[in-house]
């Protein structure tokens, strides 16, 4: 009997610390921006807004909700757009972007449709992709503003969000590959039956930014059970396609 030809894959790509090195200059700036904005919001409500309190709140919200933004909206009634704008103010973003050479070529070697799936705001994500010349590789950009389920903001690692994207794009979970540096999101995707790729290249540096990137809690030598392929960089992915089919 003829073997059924496998249908093509759909790829969901994270942006920060997956396609480029956000820890180099961008995360430090976002961290400082968030802290300044949170100090202002907390301070104006009469809450102590010293650095330690703000830092603790930022981390607590990130752990509890997966995004600091959600905690600030829920507990401090900030507007999403205000928070995102303030957190992503950069003097010269293009100068802050650092990525591997040939990343476009590496993406081209991966067969199938590619969708950008980032918890970052649309404007910032667009600027980073443009600077790296990667826009045309992605059929679609899903930024945080578009991560809504039943009207509520549900950024990664939300399972309802992933389910909604699968349904809308008519993707079977097992034909979909999530490429990410954040293990929590890979874990959520795996429970829904997606294939998972863990990019580890920027992990060591991202652990300096708890609240933006995953602190490295997982043993780096070992591949967690919810990770199908663990690679340092996107470039190594084309050699591992077999394990994603």
Residues that bind Mg ion (CB under 5 A): 14, 16-17, 181
Tell the smallest beta-carbon distance from residue 74 to Mg ion (Å): 23
Whole-angstrom Cα distance, residue 182 to residue 68? 15
| Least CB distance to Mg ion at residue 119 (A) | 8
Task: State the first-to-last Cα distance of the chain, in angstroms, to the nearest integer.
Answer: 20
The least distance separating Mg ion from the CB of residue 150, rounded to whole angstroms, comes to 25
Cβ-based neighbours of 14, under 8 Å, separated by 6 or more: 117, 118, 156, 178, 179, 180, 181, 182, 185, 199
Nearest approach in angstroms of CB 43 to Mg ion is 30
Dihedral, CA of residue 26, residue 30, residue 31 and residue 32, to nearest 10: 110
Residue whose CB is less far from Mg ion, 16 or 228: 16
Closest CB to Mg ion among 17 and 68? 17
User: Between 17 and 200, whose beta carbon lies closer to Mg ion?
Assistant: 17
**Could you tell me the smallest distance in angstroms from the CB atom of residue 239 to Mg ion?**
22
Closer to Mg ion at the Cβ: 24 or 75? 24
CB of 7 vs Mg ion, minimal distance in Å: 27
Percent composition of the chain: helix, strand, coil (DSSP 3-state, to 5): 45, 15, 40
Q: Which is nearer to Mg ion, 42 or 212 (CB)?
A: 212
Alpha-carbon dihedral sign for residues 10, 153, 29, 82: positive
Closest CA relative to residue 174, chosen from 183, 182, 166:
166
Q: Which is nearer to Mg ion, 21 or 181 (CB)?
A: 181
Alpha-carbon 73 to chain mean position: 20
Check if the beta carbon of residue 147 is closer than 8 Å to that of residue 119: yes
Q: Is 199 helix (H, G, I), strand (E, B) or coil?
A: strand
For 156, half-sphere exposure in the C-beta direction (CA atoms, 13 angstrom radius) is 30
């Amino acid at each position: 009997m003829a073997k059924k030809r496998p249908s093509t894959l759909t790829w969901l790509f994270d942006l920060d610390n997956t396609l480029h090195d956000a820890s180099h200059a961008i995360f430090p700036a976002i961290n400082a921006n968030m802290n300044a904005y949170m100090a202002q919001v907390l301070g104006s409500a009469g809450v102590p807004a010293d650095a330690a309190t703000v830092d603790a709140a930022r981390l607590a919200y990130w752990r509890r909700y997966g995004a600091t933004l959600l905690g600030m909206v829920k507990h401090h009634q900030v507007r999403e757009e205000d928070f995102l704008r303030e957190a992503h103010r950069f003097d010269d973003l293009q100068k802050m972007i650092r990525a591997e050479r040939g990343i476009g070529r590496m993406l081209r070697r991966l067969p199938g449709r590619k969708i950008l799936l980032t918890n970052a705001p649309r404007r910032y994500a667009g600027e980073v992709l443009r600077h790296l010349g990667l826009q045309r590789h992605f059929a679609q950009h899903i930024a945080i503003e578009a991560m809504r389920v039943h009207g509520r903001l549900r950024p990664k690692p939300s399972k309802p969000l992933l389910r909604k994207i699968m349904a809308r794009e008519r993707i079977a979970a097992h034909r979909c590959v999530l490429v990410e540096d954040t293990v929590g999101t890979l874990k959520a995707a795996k429970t829904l039956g997606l294939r998972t790729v863990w990019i580890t290249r920027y992990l060591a540096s991202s652990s300096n930014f708890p609240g933006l990137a995953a602190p490295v809690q997982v043993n780096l030598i070992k591949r967690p059970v919810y990770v199908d392929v663990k690679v340092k960089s996107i470039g190594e992915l084309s050699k591992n396609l077999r394990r994603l089919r």
